[in-house]
Amino acid sequence: MTRKACPIAATLVSALNLCGKDGQDATAPAKRARRKEARPGELLAAALTLFVEKGYAATRVEEVAQLAGVSKGTLFLYFANKEELFKAVVRENLAGHFPEWNAEFDAWSGNASELLEFALRAWWDRVGSTPVAGITKLMMSEAANFPELAAFYENEVMVPGRLLVQRILRLGVARGEFRPIAPADMQYAAYAVMAPMLFLMTWKHSFGACAAPIEVIDPLRYLEQQARILLNGLCASTAPAAA
């Protein structure tokens, strides 16, 4: 008579095959390795949440570690102090993307007006509409109290951002699409392009965060009007630029 295999026994054998001699899960080291690799990202995500919610000064590293589900000592294995943690957050979410964004500029095949509109919309989609926009408000409100962080943010975010906008403006001028802009004025023209975006991000994390704001701003309509006004001022033709 053929003996039927016991399903319970088969299950036990299968479970034992996954365990070492001491009964420990043989997959545990791999799981721990994966968890360790994920920790920096988890800490940066937790730090971003708290920096945006509480500001730089009010955020404590203990809170970041707790939100990430690790000890404070574990956090210090990856980041020497709160300042380095903040810099890592900025590089992960903003500064580290400028090579990619400049590469998009290099590959652009359309005209300068379309590129400017694309840049405004892409900035909103990738930064302005995300929690990362809260870093802009944080820096505007706390930069005076932390000059070293202000210098870091200026060098790694503000200047690269301005230079990218200036590349778009120079392209338009070189192609005859935009009116001539004196070299001494190019920096200020870039600021004029950037300022409305800074306002929109700041609004989102101040008045826009109120439960019942008096005024509600539709970001897409705002961007459409911003592009129309900018292009009408920039374009060499006297005819209104298409939005």
Residue-wise pLDDT tens digits, 16-75:
454 554 555 545 454 454 466 768 999 999 999 999 999 999 999 999 999 999 999 999
Task: Write down which residue in 46, 76, 91 finishes a domain.
Answer: 91
Per the structure, the count of domains in the chain is 2
Using CB atoms within 10 A of its CB, is residue 143 exposed (0-12), middle (13-18) or buried (19+)?
Answer: middle
48, part of any domain? yes
pLDDT value of position 112: 95
**Whether 51 and 145 share a structural domain:** no
**Is-above-0.75 flag for pTM?**
yes
Residue 90 makes CB contacts below 8 A (sequence gap 6+) with 135, 152, 153, 156, 157
73, part of any domain? yes
Q: What percentage of residues in the chain have a pLDDT greater than 90?
A: 71
pLDDT value of position 240: 46
15, part of any domain? no
pLDDT value of position 88: 98
pLDDT value of position 209: 72
Q: Report residue 164's pLDDT band, with 50, 70 and 90 as the boundaries.
A: very high
More confident residue, 113 or 238: 113
